[in-house]
């Protein structure tokens, strides 16, 4: 009887200690979401965790990631937990490497479909490439996100770097990545979109 009572206490303790989340959110991104150039605690995803404490937020972002890499990793990420919302922040490295926009669209399409097939909502973050890539490429690249938003009837979050990149004090020395001071601003930009998506 003593052993049985002990086991009951242990089980009860674990039941109380296991957190219960309202929803589980997966951020599937690249260096902009991985906190490149700073500690994980300073990045906008961790700041978002501090804002949305009732939700579990999994940061599946990897610096240098392309849409192809994100697509390869997604099945394991979806299998790791019961994901309610997938926030897709990918494509910047595809653009920087001059990958064809049709390949970008194909990969993002598969990411969206795989997420939805697993019962998750999808929030797509717009990505833009610099104008020095030429008007034809930049227009084709940028239009992919709007086309997918319409095709799948999903919300498209405007590119948060548009508010940050013009301010040198918010950018790292490479001129590509936001610095630590920019992270609260990114959190403030993303949080309402994510909250609204979770209501649907």
The rounded distance, in Å, linking the Cα atoms of 89 and 126 is: 7
Instruction: Give a yes or no: residue 48 inside a domain.
Output: yes
CATH code for the domain in which residue 56 is found: 3.40.50.1110
pLDDT at 131: 87
Instruction: Give a yes or no: residue 2 inside a domain.
Output: no
pLDDT tens digit at each of 200 positions of the chain: 445 544 444 444 444 455 688 999 999 999 999 999 999 999 999 999 999 999 999 999 999 999 999 999 999 999 999 999 999 999 999 999 999 999 999 999 999 999 999 999 999 999 999 888 999 999 999 999 999 999 999 999 999 999 999 999 999 999 999 999 999 999 999 999 999 999 98
Q: List the catalytic residues.
A: 31, 174, 177
Structural domain count of the chain: 1
Question: For the chain, how many helices (H) and strands (E)?
Answer: 8, 5
Max CA distance (Å), the chain:
77
Instruction: Give a yes or no: residue 5 inside a domain.
Output: no
Instruction: Give a yes or no: residue 11 inside a domain.
Output: no
The rounded distance, in Å, linking the Cα atoms of 194 and 162 is: 19
Instruction: Give a yes or no: residue 10 inside a domain.
Output: no
Instruction: Give a yes or no: residue 12 inside a domain.
Output: no
* CB neighbour burial string for 89-120, b if at least 16 within 10 angstroms, e if fewer: bbbbbbbeeebebeebbebbbebbebbeeeeb
Q: pTM (2 decimals)?
A: 0.89
Q: Domain of 94?
A: 21-199
Instruction: Give a yes or no: residue 165 inside a domain.
Output: yes
Instruction: Give a yes or no: residue 3 inside a domain.
Output: no
Residue 84: closest CA among 54, 116, 111? 116
């Amino acid at each position: 009887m003593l052993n049985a009572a002990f086991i009951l206490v242990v089980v009860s303790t674990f039941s109380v200690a296991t957190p219960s989340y309202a929803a589980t959110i997966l951020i599937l991104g690249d260096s902009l979401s991985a906190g490149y150039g700073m500690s994980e605690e300073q990045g906008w995803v961790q700041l978002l965790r501090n804002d949305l404490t009732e939700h579990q937020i999994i940061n599946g972002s990897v610096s240098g990631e392309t849409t192809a890499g994100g697509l390869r990793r997604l099945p394991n990420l979806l299998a790791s937990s019961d994901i309610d919302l997938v926030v897709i922040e990918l494509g910047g490295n595809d653009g920087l490497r001059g990958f064809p926009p049709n390949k970008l669209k194909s990969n993002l399409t598969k990411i969206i479909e795989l997420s939805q097939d697993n019962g998750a909502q999808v929030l797509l973050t717009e990505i833009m490439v610099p104008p020095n890539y030429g008007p034809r490429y930049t227009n084709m690249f940028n239009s992919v996100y709007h086309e997918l938003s319409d095709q799948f009837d999903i919300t498209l979050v405007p590119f948060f770097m548009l508010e940050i990149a013009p301010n040198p004090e918010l950018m790292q020395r490479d001129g590509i990545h936001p610095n630590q001071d920019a992270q609260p601003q990114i959190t403030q930009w993303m949080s309402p979109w994510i909250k609204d998506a979770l209501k649907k």
